[in-house]
Structure 1
Amino acid sequence: MEGPQIAFFVLLLALTGYLGNRLWTAINGPSYKERIQRLAAVDHQLHNHTVEFARPEIIQVTDGLYMAIGYALANSIMIEGKNEIVIVDVTESYETALEIMAAFRNITKKPVAAIIYTHNHADHTYGAKAFIEKESSPPDIWAHESINKEFQRTFTTNTAGYRRAMRQFGVFLPDAVNSGIGKMLKYGDGKSTLGLVFPNKFVHKRVTNLTLAGIEMSIVHIPGETDDQIGVWLPKQDAFLCADDMYKAFPNLYAIRGTPDRNLLQWVESIDTIIEYNPQFLVPSHTRPLVGKSNIQEVLTVYRDAIQYIHDQTLRYINMGMDPTDIANKVTLPKNLKEHPYLQEFYGTTEWSVRTVFTSYLGWFSGDAVDLSPLSKTEKADRMIKLVGVNKLLEQAREALRTKDFQWALELSTYVLITNPGHREATEIKLDSLTSLGSRQKSANGRNYYLTSAFEEASLIDTSVGLQKSRENGVKLLPINLIFRALQIRFKPEDCGHVRTSVYFSFKDSNTHISLTIRNGIAIVKNGACLQCDVVVTTTEKVFKDMIGSRIRSITAYGSGEIEIQGGAMNFRNIMSCFERS
């Protein structure tokens, strides 16, 4: 086929596709993507908030103290000593951390003496490898002693937490604005690499005085978003690095991506601790630094008072017998706090905060007997359909949409879709409801979650993209004992509930010994040797991790002798088949 013929053929295909899309739109209305994009809007205050971290830049806070902002969701901070530097927080991926390291190298070529993780969150820890320039002599990595416990919790809920995080941060949204406390999460899209390195130095006191890279500092335990969170006090610079205890947005007292309840009074006490240091410079791990003692004191004071207000008023209404939904509608901040520039709901919200206070004190039960054993969503949907029928539900959903009662329209359309998957009108109503709710959110988290859910409902986004790569990276980097802890929650009692056996693993390269016992539908992992195990496995950590990630690798490992099994290879294979691979 000649060039002109090829060009004509391509044009014909394009025209056919264009006319086909126009015909589909004429008959069925706009495509789902067009429908979402037509309704999607951005709260103007949230849009303007982007200026806080609009472009990648290095800010010199004061002599020897630099902040990298706008590169990713979180900041990375460099403290410069006479001959070496210290890095505090490393952002969420190897790639973004490399960009930051290159920018820091424009300031100084001094080697990295130490890295400090303020807490375990991915956006503060996953880029560490980029700051390790000589693997033969890596810097020490400091963290709170409880950080590994937090890592274990994160990795055991990886699948659920990952997808919810992708929604909260809007990683796959075509029109994401910002993430409330940073530009965007630069991880999870399948293109970024996990560069986590586990810490080797731990602090356990309330205040730990150190000298790193010749720099005098105090590491201060200031739990807030996490129990393992630490801050850094630099007396020479009169600067406090406050991690995530304060940023220019209402605090995320509960994260909709899924987190344990956050202790609000503990957070308040941590801010009181920072106030006592009375710093001239306040350097958060999100948003820009603050300068000036009186300015910092004023911001920290309203911040801690807002958190205490949410806590105290929620408990007040709990003791009046109100349920969490009613309390969430009741509690609002006083005008002077609500309008403060550092308490705008670009990230957390008062509503979500009230709910986490309720559950932290009283758990999931509202107190009303009707909620003791509630019907599932599927059961409710079935009964709603039987009660009034699909047509009536759709009629009410349409009316709710027309009157901008978007939550009710969302619930009604969801009932229809549970019993009638793919129902076009119900899908359209649900998409319109999700998009309208998302467009009205001042919180980036709320907007991202609603809109991502709309795109998922329309099968235009898959939030599991990148999950397998993340899992494979995690398996390679995780300590072997954490991998075995994760195995516990991958056990399949429906297939192996009858199994009673035990396996002893000996890893030659690390001299690590782990026993795995299966009984009563559970798997029990313990460190140490097993005296009377049914199967004994001798191998290396690397080979075992490869086997976890690949069935083919498992077969070659058996054949090559890289794994030795006493008690029968087939028996061991049957035992390992009791665990989900993904």
Structure 2
Amino acid sequence: MGNIKSQGSGCACATHHTIEANRRLRDSLPPDDRSDFERAKRGFIGKLDSTIIRNDKGEVVWDMDQYAFLAPDAPAPETVNPSLWRQAQLNTHHGLFKVCERIYQVRGYDISNITFVEGDTGWIVIDPCCTLEVAHAALELVTSFLGERKIKAVLYTHSHIDHFGGAKGIVSEADVAADHVKIIAPEHFTEETISENVYAGNAMGRRASYMFGNLLPSGERGFVDAGLGKHLAAGESTLILPTVDITRTGQTLLIDGVEIVFQLTPGTEAPAEMNFHFPQFKALCMAENTCAVMHNLYTLRGAKIRDARAWSTYINEAIELFGAETDVMFISHHWPRWGREDIVEYLKKQRDVYRYIHDQTLRLANHGYTMVEIAEMMALPKSLDQCWSIRGYYGTVNHNSKAVYQRYLGWFDANPANLHPLPPVEAGKRYVEFMGGADALLSKARDYFEKGEYRWVAQVVNHLVFADPDNRVARELQAAALEQLGYQAESGPWRNFYLTGAMELREGVERTHKALKFASMDYLRAMPEELIFDYWAIRLNGPKAEGRTLAIKFDFYDDNKQYVVQLENSVLNYSPAKLGDRADATVRIKRHVFNEIQAETTTFDAEIASGSVQIEGRAEALSELLSLFDTFDYWFDIVTP
């Protein structure tokens, strides 16, 4: 049991079972022809003098120095899956790169890439990173090597924050409003961008802290990579709304002398996404629909299940539309590919991995196998499994197969024993009792740990942790099992989940960390009032509201919009106000003040006291309604009850 005890920095060494598992994995990997390493450094022009990027307060928002341990010639340590180690080394390449004539990328200063296309007079920028600080640093890097040019247009490939959040680091809202800069995005971009992180935003953000390893120290026993890139940049995320919508495949724009042909791909990697082709450069941008990984059909931070069939179909359509006229392909993560034959072969593998998982999951489901059974049975054919560009560094065959099952058949496997199971704490107490008590359970679990059965140890000891979260021996044993699973994981998010869970079992939840915030003031300004009222309805504590009825009119007089928010049957509904609507109170408020209240930079009470908000009717009705809202704790427990 010597390896169970945490050592040094709080992490244990790899056990001989983990070392052997990683050796077997290494022996099964494709031959490493190093071509990806050549692609990752091809076209390198230069990099920032310092690998550290800071915000206006001097706080570090990006630091590549912390990955010095990932030296190009460093062999994989025993505590890192050798395939993930290779991907982590590839993702350390950073700086300015030339993709082809007039197309450049800055890579390695965020989890995503920012691309600069040279127009006749200025830049067309694709996907301005996650935060304004890193986007601005990228622009400065480009300017230092290629000269200063005005930005004529910004293209958002899709509705995920790492592809638009840095917009204000390179352009201003004033220039966009004056039509000096066009903001181009796929249709429904705005609604999908705003809605994805609102309704379940608190839970999604907390889970993202596990998925992206935000709480882990970097190093051989901690965070090494996110698979899709190094990690998410810190700093201020912004949003400038699109001024031009792409509404159909085949739509063409001429921007600063550059022709762009678009392909809409809704419901793929993002609900609103698009690929596009530059005919004069014979260059294809595949957005995030293809990367140098197998992507997620279900993202572990939590989001709607993605459509594997549609995803595969759109990649095939891209081959048909653009394959014959493409000499270089670049993407929103990782490195480009050159040569028509290589590009088409790459796209076919990406197309087929999602189609294979989709079709084979449903084939097995129609034989009566359940979601968990199918995930264990699924294995890619050798032609796909032996391809580096679709290894499971981000998504995995296992959880992507489960996503397909859930999309079509939901969470229930049709076994009535699983229709109404006990919740974790109640089930945990009974499991412990059935196993003869805590000591007996731990004794048997230790035996399985020594056998290297870490999945089973984590599963069975979890029952004891939930039955008795103060049992330190149980927490340490489960942490040790999760840690070994993390050391073996090929997927960056799987490793991060396992190691973060192990850390919080040992150390508890550290609530002094800065919480991830996806909804900035830019988001709030872009939200329709209906979306905010929907979120209010989610915050309403239904049992606490039972028997209460309230109706409050909100008059956003600067926008000439009025709504009635009504509490009845423990449900909050809203509708545009009509003449004669009954209300307990009317709240007259400017929309920007309402936004500041939602951002918690001020309160209704403070604004009422200052006179910027007026209430007519029964003034206490507003405070009565607000008292029924829950406040969500970002740092809720995950690995303990």
SS at match of 2:11: helix
- Structure 1 stretch displaced more, 154-163 or 100-109: 100-109
> Is 1:36 matched with 2:11?
yes
Cα 1:288/1:415, change in 2 over 3 Å: same
- DSSP-derived class of the 1:113 partner: strand
Give the equivalent residue in structure 1 for 2:429.
Answer: 382
1 or 2, which has the higher helix percentage?
1
In structure 1, distance between residues paired with 2:204 and 2:108 = 24
**1:506 to 2:555 alignment:** yes
**Structure 1: stretches of 5+ with no match in the other structure:** 1-25
**Contact 2:186–2:274 (Cα < 8 Å) also in 1:** yes
Task: Give the match for residue 9 of structure 1.
Answer: none
Query: What is residue 412 of structure 2 aligned with on the other side?
Result: 365
- SS of residue paired to 2:285: strand
| Equivalent position SS for 1:366 | coil
Question: How far 1:472 moved relative to its partner?
Answer: 6.0
2:165: which partner in 1? 126
What is the DSSP-based 3-state SS (H/G/I as helix, E as strand, rest coil) of the residue aligned with 1:448?
helix
In structure 2, what is the Cα distance between the partners aligned to 1:529 and 1:102?
Answer: 52
Moved more, 550-559 or 222-231: 550-559
Partners of 2:563 and 2:150 in 1: CA distance: 38
Report the equivalent of 1:338: 385
Contact 1:452 1:461 in 2 (8 A): no
For 1:156, what is the secondary structure of its paired residue? coil
The answer to whether 1:212 aligns with 2:255 is yes
Q: Specify which of 310, 325, 331 is matched with residue 266 of structure 1.
A: 310
Q: CA deviation at 1:563?
A: 0.5
Say whether 1:83 aligns with 2:121. Answer: yes
- Kindly state the Cα deviation for residue 427 of structure 1 after the two structures are TM-superposed: 1.1
Which of 56, 67, 70 is the equivalent residue of 2:105? 67
Secondary structure in 2 matching 1:326: helix
Which residue is 1:496 aligned to? Answer: 545
- Rounded to whole Å, the distance in 2 between the matches of 1:466 and 1:213 is 42
1:142 counterpart = 2:184 = yes
- Structure 1 CA distance for aligned equivalents of residues 535 and 273 of structure 2: 24
* Local SS of the residue matching 2:280: coil
- Structure 1 pair 561–528 and aligned structure 2 pair: CA distance change class (3 A): same
Counterpart of 1:559 in structure 2 is 609
Offset at 1:80?
Answer: 1.5
CA displacement, residues 296-335 of structure 1 (integer Å, 9 cap, x when unaligned): 0111112211221111111111111001111111110111
Paired residues of 1:515 and 1:530 also in contact (CA < 8 A): no
Equivalent position to 2:594, from 540, 544, 550? 544
Q: 1:552-571 CA distances to partner (integer Å, 9 max, x unpaired)?
A: 63322111210011122212
Alignment pair present for 1:52 and 2:90: yes
**CA distance in 2: counterparts of 1:32 and 1:474, whole angstroms:** 45
Q: SS of the counterpart of 2:203? A: helix
The 8 Å contact of residues 181 and 347 in structure 1, kept in 2 or not, is answered as yes
Aligned residue pairs: how many? Answer: 551
Over 3 Å counting, the alpha-carbon distance change for 1:52 and 1:526 in structure 2 is farther
Q: What does residue 283 of structure 1 align with?
A: 330
Aligned to 1:447: 495
TM-score, with length taken from structure 2: 0.82
Whole-Å separation in 2 of the counterparts to 1:140 and 1:515 = 36
C-alpha distance in 2, partners of 1:528/1:211? 44
SS at match of 1:155: coil
Tell me which residue corresponds to 1:310.
357
Q: What is the percentage of aligned positions where both structures have the same residue?
A: 26
> How many Å separate the matches in 2 of 1:488 and 1:200?
31
Counterpart secondary structure, 2:261: strand
Equivalent position of 1:156 in the other structure: 199
2:350 and 2:390 in contact (8 A); partners too: yes
Q: Which of these residues, 155, 171, 174, is aligned with residue 214 of structure 2? A: 171
Q: Which moved further from structure 2: 460-469 or 171-180? A: 460-469
Q: Which of 477, 481, 484 matches 2:533?
A: 484
Alpha-carbon contact 2:6-2:480 (below 8 Å) kept: no
Unaligned runs of 5+ in 2: 15-77, 633-641
Q: Secondary structure at the match of 2:507?
A: coil
**Structure 1 counterpart of 2:63:** none
Q: What is the Cα deviation at residue 549 of structure 1? A: 4.1
Q: CA deviation at 1:254?
A: 1.9
Match of 2:152 among 92, 96, 113: 113
* Aligned-CA RMSD value: 2.3
Structure 1 contact 491–580 (Cα < 8 Å) conserved: yes
Quick one: distance in 2 between partners of 1:272 and 1:468? 36
Compared with structure 1, are the counterparts of its residues 553 and 532 closer, same or farther at alpha carbon in structure 2 (3 Å cutoff)?
same
SS at match of 1:59: strand
Partner deviation per Cα, 1:216-237 (whole Å, 9 max, x = no partner): 1122112321231111211111
Q: Secondary structure at the match of 1:467?
A: coil
| Local SS of the residue matching 2:226 | coil
The residue type equivalent to 1:64 in the other structure is: R
TM-score scaled to structure 1, two decimals?
0.90
Pick which of 501-510 and 266-275 moved more: 501-510
* Structure 1 residues 579 and 385: alpha-carbon distance in aligned structure 2, compared to 1, 3 A threshold: same
| Aligned mates of 1:531, 1:58 — CA distance in 2 | 62
Inter-partner Cα distance in structure 1 for 2:280 and 2:601:
56
- Provide the rounded CA distance (Å) in 2 between the counterparts of 1:113 and 1:488: 41
Distance 2:208 2:103 in 1: 31
Contact 1:127 1:195 in 2 (8 A): yes
What secondary structure is seen at the aligned counterpart in 2 of 1:115? strand
